[in-house]
Structure 1
Amino acid sequence: MAEVATFATSDHLLVVIDPVARQTDGESVRIAKDVLSAGAATKVCLPDGPEEFARALQRRGSRRPVVIGDDRALARAVAVLHRQRELAGCALSVVPVGPLLGIAHALGVPAGAVAAARSVLDGAVRRLDLLVDDSDGVVLGALSIPPLEGAGPDAVPGGGNDGPGSPSRPEDLAPTGTWLRSCHSLVRSLVVPRPARGGGGGPAFGGGGGPARLRVEVDGDTLVDLEQPVEAVSVTPGGAGAAAVEVRPVSVGAAAVPLRAAGRRVTISGPDFRYRADTAVSGPVRRRTWTVWENALGLVLPG
């Protein structure tokens, strides 16, 4: 269960307004800013891109950071604070504004600019678990393979986590106007099948046309191995320092029973595969390990 702490309403706030929020719903941004300014001393920052976004958080001093933006802005803020190793001593707030709001709402942030801004002022800090991969990428909500199932054109495409485009690199997640116009074509390019390099992964996994074959290990125990083709894998922070892992094997005749496990460390390996972590699509990679960081994120939510 998440740890809860009360929070003083008189703290100074650094309000960072994501450019996509300003472009898509300026009225909600104005309302949120007015509510926050009426309840606390605020400094407002209007970054034009990811570098300014990161710099604002880095120079916040003793101010409590508040992000006005969508799931991508929230993920970017968490990534910046994580890379600075400042999440443990920071209480982050978000007012969800923009096209992608599912993660923020799933974490408990209220819908609507007024309700969310009031929770920033009157809420409590809840400590939440995160998934952190072996290239320092952070997952707030869920990890899924294949990445584009239900992911539409709003998914953020990226390269492997070891290079540009990784969700662990907030500078590559900046949604500018040009980025929004080109996003759809970039996502389409992700699903072009690549030649398999010694394995039978399907197109969504980066392979050549057969069912996906992955090895999924949870705390060193193998949940599924390469000889068992799978349709999908999902990993979510489950609370209490453990991740919930579900593997859906390929069904032959009758529906296959999902394989489930829980553990602190999850390793997925096999022929080239892509994965979706929150709003970002990464890969192809051949191996990736995610570890649960218990109570790593302090998020201000309604008390």
Structure 2
Amino acid sequence: MAEVATSARSSATPDQLLVVIDPVARRTDGESVRIAKDVLRAGAAHTKVCLPDDPEEFARVLERRGSRRPVVIGDDRSLLRTVALLHRGRELAGCALSLVPVGPELELCRSLGVPSGAVAAARAVLDGVEQRLDLMVDDSDGVVLGAVGIPPLAPRPAGPSRPPRPTRPSRPPVAPPGDAGAADGRTADGAAVRLPWLRTCQSFVRTLAHPRPARAASLPGSGPARLRVEVDGVTLVDLDQPVEGVSLTPGAPGTAEVEVRPVSVGAAASPLTARGRTVTVSGAHFRYRADAVESGPVGTRTWTVREGAWGLTLPAR
């Protein structure tokens, strides 16, 4: 890991920044990284740039930031990693994050209002204002900044029935080596001879002719699921009603918007919606996608909205 400290004077933003550059951002778009560093160095009173090589170094740099304001140059996963680390350290309340989005996954960054260009995002770091945002925290201490999507469970298809076991052919008698008069597989006195290698060859031929069918895999997103969805303790849908999917998105401050899409029979079924602070999904084991990360399978998961739990520097309105 390399660290570079530079100083610059600016009457607009007398600040101390810890700029942490994700290795994926460096590999993906080195030019945007360089531009962002130049703008930040020129605008902040003191800038320390860190180049961690792996998540462990990333965590150590963030932990040792002191009084510096952390600025992450990276994509959605970099932002999620930073928020998760600060959450586990119970440091989100007193720390305002800043972000310059660079990398392959930027959908979450854009949805939060972070400018997409390196120059505009770096200027927002220097001249923007902190906005407190809600955070969804699950019962395993995982964090969600944007949305949760629960795809339907795939029905386990019944594999093709196994073909009937072929009738074992009668083994042709084989003459022992050296018996020139037994070309038809019998000894001179007419007795049949069995050789061990013949059984192996016959078994191999049967395997090629009738291969064992592969076990059918369960693919997410190809069939209905039976899930119980509770919002603030009230059941929105129960296990007796199969659903095509469930989504949780940020709602009014301190709440999440919940939408359940029931399986339609004939006419399209209207989605079931609710708004609440705590959402519990349970039932058959399911996978879910929180922001850019897929998790599971789990049998139950509860998400709780924490109002204004973290701060992000965004352009002044």
Q: TM-score, normalised by structure 1?
A: 0.78
Paired letter, 1:238: G
Q: Identify which of 103, 109, 123 aligns with 1:104.
A: 109
SS at match of 2:116: coil
1:296 paired residue number: 309
Q: Identify which of 272, 288, 294 aligns with 1:275.
A: 288
Matched, 1:65 2:78: no
How far residue 239 of structure 1 moved from its aligned partner, in angstroms, is: 3.3
SS at match of 2:110: helix
Paired letter, 1:141: G
Q: CA RMSD in A?
A: 1.6
How far residue 147 of structure 1 moved from its aligned partner, in angstroms, is: 8.4
User: 2: distance between equivalents of 1:130 and 1:222?
Assistant: 23
Q: Identify which of 27, 30, 34 aligns with 1:26.
A: 30
1:84 paired residue number: 89
Q: Identify which of 233, 247, 250 aligns with 1:237.
A: 250
Does the aligned pair in 2 maintain the 1:248–1:257 contact within 8 Å? yes
Residues 245-264 of structure 1 show CA distances to partners (whole Å, capped at 9, x for unaligned) of 01111111111101110000
Change (3 A) 1:99 1:124: same
How far residue 105 of structure 1 moved from its aligned partner, in angstroms, is: 0.6
Does the aligned pair in 1 maintain the 2:261–2:270 contact within 8 Å? yes
User: 1: distance between equivalents of 2:50 and 2:252?
Assistant: 33
User: 2: distance between equivalents of 1:91 and 1:46?
Assistant: 20
Matched, 1:131 2:144: no
The higher radius of gyration belongs to 2
User: 2: distance between equivalents of 1:242 and 1:53?
Assistant: 31
Does the aligned pair in 2 maintain the 1:128–1:239 contact within 8 Å? no
Does the aligned pair in 2 maintain the 1:216–1:224 contact within 8 Å? yes
Matched, 1:259 2:275: no
Higher relative contact order (CA 8 A, sep 6+): 1
SS at match of 2:121: helix
Q: Identify which of 226, 229, 247 aligns with 1:216.
A: 229
Does the aligned pair in 1 maintain the 2:232–2:276 contact within 8 Å? yes
How far residue 94 of structure 1 moved from its aligned partner, in angstroms, is: 0.5
Does the aligned pair in 1 maintain the 2:21–2:52 contact within 8 Å? yes
Residues 112-171 of structure 1 show CA distances to partners (whole Å, capped at 9, x for unaligned) of 0000000000000000001000010000010001189xxxxxxxxxxxxxxxxxxxxxxx
Change (3 A) 1:147 1:22: farther
Q: How does 1:84-233 map to 2 (within 5 A)?
A: 84-146=89-151, 192-193=217-218, 203-204=219-220, 211-233=224-246
User: 2: distance between equivalents of 1:210 and 1:300?
Assistant: 41
1:10 paired residue number: 14
Paired letter, 1:82: H
Residues 3-36 of structure 1 show CA distances to partners (whole Å, capped at 9, x for unaligned) of xxxxx82210000000000000000000000000
User: 1: distance between equivalents of 2:13 and 2:146?
Assistant: 27
Does the aligned pair in 1 maintain the 2:152–2:223 contact within 8 Å? no
Does the aligned pair in 2 maintain the 1:231–1:248 contact within 8 Å? yes
Does the aligned pair in 2 maintain the 1:36–1:42 contact within 8 Å? yes
> Tell me, which stretches of 5 or more residues in structure 1 are unaligned?
1-7, 149-190, 194-202
User: 1: distance between equivalents of 2:223 and 2:288?
Assistant: 17
Residues 255-279 of structure 1 show CA distances to partners (whole Å, capped at 9, x for unaligned) of 1101110000000001010000011
Paired letter, 2:107: G
Q: TM-score, normalised by structure 2?
A: 0.74
Does the aligned pair in 1 maintain the 2:152–2:244 contact within 8 Å? no
SS at match of 1:204: coil
User: 1: distance between equivalents of 2:245 and 2:309?
Assistant: 27
User: 2: distance between equivalents of 1:250 and 1:106?
Assistant: 29
